[in-house]
Amino acid sequence: MTLSNLLEKAAGGGRLTLEEGVRVYKEAPLHELGAAAHARRMTLYPTSDVTYVIDTTINYTNVCNVHCSFCAFFRPEKHGEGYTMSHDDVLARVAWAAEQGATQIMIQGGVNPELRIEWFERLFRRVRAEHPNVDIHSLSVSEINGLANVEGMSPRDVLLRLREAGLKSLPGAGAEILVERVRKRISARKIKPDEWLGVMREAQLLGMPTTATMMFGSIETEEERIEHLDVMRRLQDETHGFTAFIPWYYVPYKTPLRGKESTGLEYLRVLAVSRLYLDNFPHLQASWLTPGLKLGQLALFYGCDDMGGTILEERVVTLAGSTNVATRAQLENIVSGAGFRPVVRDTYWNLRPEMALATA
């Protein structure tokens, strides 16, 4: 098949093989790739709506025993700069976010072996009791797995306990690139690719929707990026439990791994090929936190139908050198400036038009 035929096939919803995905990613001219991805997005959602969620990320602890080389956020156990927030601290942040209209909170941090499952159960129960309108979309697969290790429980039993306490869904964090070679180099102590997929599968089978992410631009090859898409697509074929795919690029400035920051064109290329390759994923999210709002705006023409969250507070990426923040008004301005209509959604993609900004 010619490249044009492949793009036409994918834009029409046809499935690309792994080899075809690699070829399209490496060889298709950027604007043709983007046009095909945008055509696919407009077929899936023939509307000018672009959704976003009002949320915040609360990084409750930076203590972590996993030590990923791409991470500038964590501190090892007993380090003088390690911190763990009290429940009152976390609740104060949730209260503040709820006042700003947040419907989702992402409580996420390092894998801190000092924290037992009861600590999370008590925290989630308090959040649920004090803020019943806020969904707890929290804890990465690494944190779930860390708890399973500390407690001597299966990840499924940890999920069941936390679901009972109020955990509604899981963010797709900690996937990076789900290829063994890459993980051995950048996060050797982290949960293995098959285990990451296994925890996600358990969560999804328990009825907890999850997102999926890809952190690209560290040491992986272009082929390995498509392999990552492929393992995500295979799990989605099985469970249909992923709501959205969120590619974001590695920020190297203050990390032990260092390296170079991806370019804007590389970001757009990854978005477009993700939209085309992941034919079974409902949504593609523009993660504007690392590339910035203006590139996030361009992402709306490269397959994205969602702007993610407002992220009222976040430390992991900002500590690695990203300086992008945004108000709701700025986020909506970027969307409407691109000719789309900003629409607030919740964690489950229910539209919440009553939450539109008065000035929008």
Mapping DSSP to helix (H, G, I), strand (E, B) and coil, where does residue 89 land? helix
Stretch of residues binding ligand SF4 (CB under 6 A), selected from 15-23, 62-70, 151-159, 290-298: 62-70
The only residue of 25, 52, 60, 74 in contact with ligand SF4, by rule CB under 6 A: 74
170 strand-pairing partners: 210
**Could you say whether residue 61 binds ligand SF4 (CB under 6 A)?**
no
**Neighbour-count burial for 22-57, b at 16+ CB within 10 Å, e otherwise:** bbbbeebeeeebbbbbbbbbeebeeeebbbbbbbbb
Closest approach of ligand SF4 to the CB of residue 246, in Å: 15
Integer Cα distance of 228 and 133 in angstroms: 35
DSSP codes, 205-263: HTT--EEEEEEESSS--HHHHHHHHHHHHHHHHHH--EEEEEEEE---TTSSS---PPP
- Show the site string, 154-193: x = touches ligand SF4 by CB under 6 A, - = not: ---------------------------------x--x---
The only residue of 28, 37, 39, 68 in contact with ligand SF4, by rule CB under 6 A: 68
Sequence-ordered list of residues with C-beta below 8 angstroms from that of 78, at least 6 positions apart, any chain: none
From residue 99, give the alpha-carbon distance in Å to each of 109, 124, 128, 269: 23, 18, 15, 37
The only residue of 21, 34, 110, 308 in contact with ligand SF4, by rule CB under 6 A: 110
Residue 245 contacts residue 211 (beta carbons within 8 Å):
yes
Closest approach of ligand SF4 to the CB of residue 248, in Å: 13
The only residue of 10, 28, 36, 64 in contact with ligand SF4, by rule CB under 6 A: 64
**Nearer Cβ to ligand SF4 (111/148):** 111
The only residue of 103, 112, 142, 243 in contact with ligand SF4, by rule CB under 6 A: 142
Stretch of residues binding ligand SF4 (CB under 6 A), selected from 66-74, 88-96, 236-244, 261-269: 66-74
Q: Do β-strands 306-309 and 242-249 pair in parallel, antiparallel, or remain unpaired?
A: unpaired
**Could you say whether residue 66 binds ligand SF4 (CB under 6 A)?**
yes
The only residue of 28, 71, 148, 276 in contact with ligand SF4, by rule CB under 6 A: 71
Stretch of residues binding ligand SF4 (CB under 6 A), selected from 63-71, 177-185, 277-285, 343-351: 63-71
Residue 250 contacts residue 262 (beta carbons within 8 Å):
yes
**Could you say whether residue 73 binds ligand SF4 (CB under 6 A)?**
yes
309 membership: H or E segment, kind and range? strand 306-309
Closest approach of ligand SF4 to the CB of residue 110, in Å: 4
Closest approach of ligand SF4 to the CB of residue 67, in Å: 6
Question: Which positions lie near ligand SF4, rule CB under 6 A?
Answer: 64, 66-68, 71, 73-74, 110-111, 142, 187, 190
